[in-house]
Amino acid sequence: MPCQAAPRHAREGHNADVRALSLPGTATTSLVTLGFTTSVAQAVLLREGMTALGGSELAWGAVLALWLWGMGIGAWVGTRGGGRGFAALAPGLVPVLVAAGVVLMRAAPALTGTVTGEAATTWRGLWLWAAAVIVPAAVGGWSFPVAAATLSGAGGAATAYALESGGAMAGGLVFTFLLAQQGSVAALCFAAGLSLAAWLATRGRPWLAVLPLAVGIAVAAPGDRALANAGWRWSGRAGGLAAWRETRQQRLEFSAGSPAALYADGRLLASFPDPYRAAPRAHLALLLHPNPKRVLLLGGTADGTVPAMLREPGVRLTVVEEDAALARLLPVWFGAPLAAAFADQRVTLIGSDPLRAVGRGGPWDEIVLLDGDPTTLRHNRTRTAEFFHACAGALAADGVLVVRVGVGDTYLGGAGGRLLAVIAATLRESFPQVTAVPGEEVLLAAGREPARVSADPAVLAERWRRRGAVDPEFGPEMIPLVADTGRAAGLAAFLADRRAPVNRARHPRAVLLAAALHEARGSPPLLAAARALEAGSTVPLLVCLAVVVGVLLARGARGASLGVEAAAVVGFASMAWWLLLLAGWQATMGSVYAEVGALSAAFMAGLVVGSSAARRWSSAGPGYLAGVLMGGAGVSLLIASGAPLAFPRTTIVPLLLLAGLLTGAAFPAVASLAGRGETRRGAGRGFAADEAGAGIAALAVGLLVLPWAGMIAVGVGIAVVQAGTAAAIALSARRRLG
């Protein structure tokens, strides 16, 4: 029976919709705006995820992996169905769906039962992150092959990839330099408004294009304010939300009342005043040096440490606050006592990255590190052998380095004790004398002269009396309590074991331990697993590599096309390169927050150039793709050689550009293999596999594989998989020709 014809007006509407999207300008606009809005949406979700989860590396990896997998799922669906009108409207729909995801993430404390002042752990809230992330990502991924189908013909997939990548590059730059500090609602309103404005313009209604942008701008500020207040209530915190601010590095929330509380990325950063903890720790840190005059302080800016240290005569403080916006806000939010301390002539407050601050202004009598544990690759940069070596070079001959470790001495088994041992072993690389002071948070004091590095209560009390310091919140009678001799002996015996490994930039062993302590609170099995993994052999990784390469070669020997497999390898390698190069930048140059836009632009520019240039070779055959993969193996080996760590200024940006170029150059070939000449099918399947591989790398490399195996092993492993894939493609081509 013949199918009943559709109503005439429906057919005309559908045909008009197809014709509209088929216009070259419309197709170009759809793909560029798709890249722009998905880039902004992804950045917003990553930022919200980091805030909701307290900034752990696993949080970043989990949210990014879910986003990439969602894009992959959508792209796979898009190879089979989806109207072109949907593809044209999807760029504007993605930010709307992400806004719903943002509300879910802000409500995470209430939905996951998180204790006030703590951040939800990744494992507890994984279902929530999936609900918030996968749906909008799938919509974005779905529209890509549908829009790419309008560019059918030679190089259609390459052109679509180049256009989407160009939009993503623009979105990343705009978010970093314009939208990040405006709030999530403002960023999403701008992205949605711009997308809808572009859609209206291509539909022949340019006079209406300004309307969505105007509406977005009008609702952005009230929307962000309402969301901030709702998130505060959902967190269950006491008091009202007095002020909040999105900075380039974190979300800050401030409560009214006394003591005032400051939250950073959902976690309680400090309360002020805090005399029972801040003053004893501040004085104890200074007493670990016989007579400190010039002191460099990292961390401890918001809890009363600075006013307490100023009560010791003769001390001049240079206080480093990585978040320059927080440095400006603290005197305003906390009021007169803290403002007076920062205005004191003996205090220099600077907003700078610690790596850049240590070498300026020395030599220092004492450097005090009160910043957080190395739960991420970014935070790890102030706990590496390289950073401690820089501190040693910036200290005076009799100088002392004091390092806070956020574990107590009462239980030294498991991941906490291992983390403490690793940090102590790392300090010994640059300092012959390391002394530990027990407490809820252990202080490690390191120096060159044993006589000057002492935690003996009698010695510390004598130093206090000799200085003539007076502080109503601290006195010499408290010294035996904060430097308990009995507990110190057990701690010293534990740290005397020299078998702990050293935490280096190229092998960040401390990250897995610190992240496990952060993520696995109240879960002994997870802590035990992290401890066993960190201390275990990397043989399982070698087995995984052998299995992957073996499967690829076996499929190639049978003549499989390997387009999907190659796309997954390309996606995995590109994300792994990105993570390794950013880790190298953070370890040598400092935080990437200020430069992430430019670094992202370098990679995305390579994608655009590579995919655009490869259009003419889209049907060049398997030999071309094998050559691109072998070029990628060379990049992997160059990263493994340590060049990004040894010469960061001259290698990291060119390597990012080259990595993007090779990734873009590979996409047309994998799309051709995956789709067997059909643009929509190839673009969808190739894009889906690429995103799936990148998602695996996002989840595994930064948190797990890099701390476990180190940069050399990771780089070599990627090169082996790439070379194995190239060999498998060559085998497959020979088999089919034979």
pLDDT tens for each residue of 484-501:
888 888 899 999 888 899
Residue 633 has pLDDT above 60, yes or no: yes
Residue bearing the bigger pLDDT, 529 or 37? 37
Closest CA to 434 of 722, 15, 422, 21: 422
Interatomic CA distance for residues 520 and 484, integer angstroms: 29
Question: Within a 10 A sphere around the Cβ of 7, how many other Cβ atoms?
Answer: 9
Residue 507 has what pLDDT? 93
Beta bridge partners of 121: none
Residues whose CB falls within 8 Å of the CB of residue 576, separated by 6 or more in sequence, listed in order: 697, 701, 714, 718
Domains and CATH numbers, the chain: 12-241 (1.20.1250), 273-507 (3.40.50.150), 537-738 (1.20.1250)
CB atoms closer than 10 angstroms to residue 525: 8
**For range 513-532, the mean pLDDT:** 73
Q: Provide mean pLDDT across the span 93-115.
A: 86
Enter the tokens of residue 337.
Answer: 């006592």
In this structure, are residues 122 and 53 in contact, taking their beta carbons and an 8 Å threshold? yes
Could you report the per-residue pLDDT of 283-339, keeping only the tens digit for each? 999 999 999 999 999 988 888 899 999 999 999 999 999 888 888 898 889 888 889
pLDDT over 50 at 7, yes or no? no
Query: Which among 23, 382, 80, 40 is positioned nearest to 202, based on CA atoms?
Result: 23
For residue 458, what are its two tokens? 């009698």
> For all residues of the chain together, what is the average pLDDT?
85
How confident is the model at residue 147, as a pLDDT?
85
- How many residues does the structure list for the chain? 738
pLDDT at 16: 36
Strand, helix or coil at 647?
coil
Per-residue DSSP letter, 288: T
The neighbour count for residue 214, using CB atoms within 10 Å, is 11
φ/ψ of residue 443, rounded to 5 = -105, 130
Q: How far apart are CA 141 and CA 695, in angstroms?
A: 14
Longest dimension (CA), the chain: 104
> Residue 110 burial (CB < 10 Å; 0-12/13-18/19+)?
middle
- Which tops the pLDDT comparison, 12 or 282? 282
CB 32 within 8 A of CB 91: no
3-class DSSP state for residue 526?
Answer: helix
At residue 133, φ and ψ (nearest 5 deg) are -105, -45
CB atoms within 10 A of CB 650: 11
The pLDDT score that the predictor gives to residue 597 is: 66
pTM for this predicted structure: 0.85
Most confident of 106-115, 208-217, 464-473: 464-473
Sheet holding 267-272, edge to edge: 241-246, 251-255, 260-264, 267-272
354 pLDDT more than 70: yes
Half-sphere exposure of residue 521, counting CA atoms within 13 Å on the CB side? Answer: 12
Tokens of 515: 């992240």
Distance CA 736, CA 738 (A): 5
pLDDT value for 689: 93
Residues whose CB is less than 8 angstroms from the CB of residue 131 and which lie 6 or more positions away in sequence, other chains included: 101, 104
In whole angstroms, what separates CA 388 from the centre of its chain? Answer: 23
Average pLDDT over residues 225-243: 87
Q: Which residue has the higher pLDDT, 567 or 172?
A: 567
DSSP letters spanning 147-158: HHGGG-STTHHH
Mean pLDDT is highest, among 8-22, 524-538, 656-670, for 656-670
- Matching residue, tokens 């313009």: 201
The pLDDT value given to residue 387: 95
The proportion of the chain whose per-residue pLDDT surpasses 90, expressed as a percent, equals: 39
Q: Above 50 in pLDDT, residue 184?
A: yes
